[in-house]
Structure 1
Amino acid sequence: MDNPFIKYNKSNDYVVGDLKKLSSSYIPDNFPHREKQIDSIARVLSSIVTGGLSSNLLLYGKSGSGKTSSVIYVTGMLKETLKGNINIIYINCEIYDSQYSILVYLTNAINSGDAPIPILGLPQDKIYFELVKRLNKSGRYTVIILDEIDKLIQKSGSDALYVLLKIMADSNTSLIGITNDASFVNALDARVQSRLNQESIIFPPYNAMELRDILNFRVSGIIKDGFITEASINLCAALGAQEHGDARKSIDLLRIAIDSALKDGKDCVTIDDVYLARDRFEMNVLKESIRTLPIHSKMVLLSACLTQETDADLSVTGEIYENYGNICTELGFQPLTMRRISDLLSDLEDTGLLTTNTRSLGRYGRMKFIRVMGSIQNVKGYTLEDPAFVNFQGSKIVRQSKLRTNFDAYVETYKNGDFDNK
């Protein structure tokens, strides 16, 4: 077989710059329509340049609104202004989502000349004091950027942020938090809110015209004039604007469309190329995930959908198993054991199709509640596309009256009856 890369290994006259600059993660040297926010960030951080202390900052905005890129750009300029005499530490709380992991990361990121500490095995209080020591020893001001800071609070609670704020009180350190949760501060403990002492900056969603300006700026000097039609740029901008003004999506769509047109040897990028790029970009991952499931996993997933439709509060393992058995009987399959179904439920949770939560019903014992992620109608529809379900008419759905009685008695103990929040 011939090397499949040979036909793609050719130069192209339409590319006049570095295509990597069309990556949504690329940090440009100009941010159209974010000048106001960038100046606001710089204004707060300017206290560091004059030898003072900077306020903590919280940046709010939808995904793709330029929060992370803007703050990395501004702190980069701050580092350049101070000739590197500052610690800028970026942490993504989707990855480092515990108090312990963040403390270890910060300790090893401080440029104090000390050897790295192990990522496991040390008591947390020892790491805390080691971090404070290194912060003061470095003699530099430190800015900690916590991207997706709301994920840290969701996973570890307010205590993680409280500890960081306590460290900042003992050293020349400021915090920049980035979140798309407008109610983030309201979820914090009062003691954390009083210590946070933050200034807030809002990043509004981009509109279609602003996204068009961003796309034109990104391709300028990279792609030869005339290779991308104006209609293609406008379509990418419009599609991004539909997704809450997501610049990341618009840029990725344009990049994929350009890449596809170049590989196909086309003379220009048209709106058809953009639509093809959208289809590739928005491939229905949910549908594909369900399509590739084994048949019994599909029947368990269908049972979870039907059970939750019948009574969303009581979608539990026992009901799902009974309904799964009814589906098997209707379709002519031999049901698996309860233990095997528990394994399949765990597998479905690992793939993100289900979520489980074990809760106490007081004197009625503990129960595992199961929820289908996303739209039940979509999940059910994708499952029923399997030819094995062609004759499925809708099995009898079990509803455990005893469990409902116990559940109602449990809920009655709470004034507002809001079980999910208890």
Structure 2
Amino acid sequence: MDNPFIKYSKTSDYVIGDLKKLSSSYIPDNFPHRERQINEIAKILSSIINGGIASNILIYGKSGSGKTSSTLYVTSMLSEAVSGNLNSIYINCEIYDSQYSILINIINSINIGETQVPSLGLPLDRVYFELIRRLKKSGKYTIIILDEIDKLIQKNGSDALYVILKVISEVNASIIGITNDSSFVNRLDARVQSRLNQESIIFPPYNAIELRDILNFRVSGIIKREFIDDSAINLCAALGAQEHGDARKSIDLLRIAIENALREGRDLVTADDVYRARDKFEMNILKESIKTLPIHSKMVLLSAALTQETDSDLTVTGEIYENYKNISTELGFQPLTMRRISDLLTDLEDLGLLSTNTRSLGRYGRTKFIRVMGSIENIKSYIMEDPAFINFQGSKIVKQTKLRTNFDSYFDGLNENNNK
């Protein structure tokens, strides 16, 4: 068999630059429509240049509004301005979500020629004092960038942030927190709020015109402009604007459309290519979201899908839990408690895989109805790709006959009243 990659190895005349720069994770050297926010960050951090201490900063904005990339750009420019005399440490709190893991990560990011600290097994107080020692030994100003900082608070409360703030009070350091939660500060306790003493910067969502400018800037010097129809650029911008001004989505859609056209040897990227890219993009996001779920979350999602298939009107927490227990038992797992499953349902809702709606059934009380988002068949097939489900035969699906009776009685009563 011939090497299947040979046919893709030809260089297109339309490519005049590095295609990697079309990635949404690439940090460019210019940020259209974010000049004001970048200057605000730089102004706050400018005191570092003169040997002062910068205020802590909280940066707010929706996903894809340029918060993280702008912050990384400014700190890289600051490092250049102070001749590298800066520790700029980026931490994603979605990944490192405890005070211990964050402190260890900061320690191991300080390059002073000492051995790495193990990620487990040390007392927290030892880690705390080791971090302070290394920061002082480095002799550099330190900026700790905490992306998704609200995730840290959701899991650990205010204590984790309090410890980090205590560290920076001992050395020359500042925090930049990045979040899409506009009420973040209000959820901190008073002692943390007083220590944080932050300046805030808001990144508003991009509109379609701004996204179009960003896309034109991104392809400039990489792809010959005649290879991309204006309709493709405009559609990518419009779709991103619909998603709360998400530049990341617009860039990824255009990148996928361009790559597909190049692979197929076509001469023009059109709006049709963008629509096909959107279908592929959204399908991959759903699959990847499900693929990375913990095993019990997958069982809960499968239970919700099977329950909804059985009776779409009565997909409720109790019914999902009963079916989840049957699934976990069939697969050889110990079922979690009802309370823990309620937490997992909330997590699945946060991921956009489920939606909930609490409704009153009159004298029968209030009930939370749950719906699976997207194609149930696709969701089931993605879950079944996990080897843990290879022996799943289809557990007995429970129907809550009492709830169905109450549900029907309530609406029969409403109909009777309406007919009088």
Normalised-by-shorter TM-score class:
0.7 to 0.9
* TM-score w.r.t. length of structure 2: 0.78
Is 1:100–2:94 an aligned residue pair? no
How many Å separate the matches in 1 of 2:127 and 2:287?
Answer: 45
> 2:376 is aligned with what amino acid?
Y
Partner of 2:46: 46
Equivalent position SS for 1:358: helix
The 5 A counterparts of 1:12-411 are 12-283=12-283, 286=286, 301-303=305-307, 310=314, 312=316, 314-315=318-319, 317=321, 319-320=322-323, 339-340=329-330, 343=333, 358=339, 371=345, 373=349, 374-375=354-355, 376-378=370-372, 382-383=376-377, 396-399=399-402
What 5-or-longer segments of structure 1 have no aligned partner?
A: 325-335, 347-355, 360-366, 387-393, 402-422
In structure 1, the residue corresponding to 2:209 is in which secondary structure?
helix
- Give the 3-state SS of the residue equivalent to 2:199 in structure 1: strand
CA distance in 2, matches of 1:51, 1:60: 27
- Could you tell me which amino acid in structure 2 is paired with residue 106 of structure 1? I
Residue aligned with 2:57, SS = strand
Compared CA separation, residues 169 and 357, structure 1 to 2 (3 A): farther
After superposition, the Cα gap between the structure-2 partners of 1:145 and 1:299, relative to the gap in structure 1 and judged at 3 Å, is: closer
Q: Residues 344, 236 of structure 1: CA spacing in aligned structure 2 closer, same or farther, 3 A cutoff?
A: farther
Contact kept, 8 Å, 1:96 with 1:102, in 2: the verdict is yes
Deviation at 1:303, TM superposition (A): 2.8
Letter in 2 for 1:114: E
Measure how far apart 1:282 and its partner are. 1.1
1:73: Cα distance to partner?
0.3
Distance 2:334 2:281 in 1: 29
| C-alpha distance after superposition, 1:137-164 (max 9, x if no partner) | 1111100000111111111221110000
Shift of 1:119: 1.4
Following superposition, the deviation at residue 398 of structure 1 comes to 3.6
- The amino acid across from 2:250 in the alignment is S
Distance 1:24 1:53 in 2: 32
| Greater mean alpha carbon deviation, residues 200-209 or residues 133-142 | 133-142
Q: CA RMSD in A?
A: 3.4
Q: Do the aligned partners of 1:91 and 1:145 also contact (CA within 8 Å) in 2?
A: yes
Find the aligned partners of 1:304 and 1:143 in 2 and give their Cα distance.
Answer: 49
Q: Aligned letter for 2:266?
A: K
CA drift at 1:284: 6.7
How far, CA to CA, are the matches of 2:64 and 2:172 in structure 1?
31
Cα deviation, 1:63-100, whole Å, max 9, x if unaligned, reads: 00000000000000000000001111111111111111
Q: Which residue of 1 aligns with 2:10?
A: 10
Question: How many angstroms apart in 1 are the aligned matches of 2:273 and 2:182?
Answer: 36
Asked if the contact 2:58–2:201 (Cα under 8 Å) also holds between the matched residues in 1, the reply is: yes
Q: Distance in 1 between matches of 2:299 and 2:75?
A: 52
- Relative to structure 1, the CA distance from residue 138 to residue 307 in structure 2 (aligned partners, 3 Å threshold; closer, same or farther) is farther
Q: How many residues align?
A: 363
Q: Quick one: structure 1 residues 303 and 130, their matched pair in 2 at CA, closer, same or farther if it must change by over 3 Å?
A: same
Change (3 A) 1:370 1:345: farther
Alpha-carbon distance in structure 1 between the residues aligned to 2:94 and 2:344 = 24
- What is the CA–CA distance in structure 2 between the aligned matches of 1:40 and 1:93, rounded to whole Å? 24
Identify if the C-alpha distance between structure 1 residues 275 and 70 changes in structure 2 by more than 3 Å, giving closer, same or farther. same
**Distance change (3 Å), C-alpha of 1:175 and 1:231:** same
Cα 1:110/1:307, change in 2 over 3 Å: farther
Identity %: 62
Return the offset for 1:342. Answer: 7.6
1:395 Cα deviation from its structure 2 partner: 7.8
Equivalent residues of 1:304, 1:320 under 8 A apart:
no
CA offsets 1:139-190 (integer angstroms, 9 cap, x no match): 1110000011111111122111000001111111100000011111111111
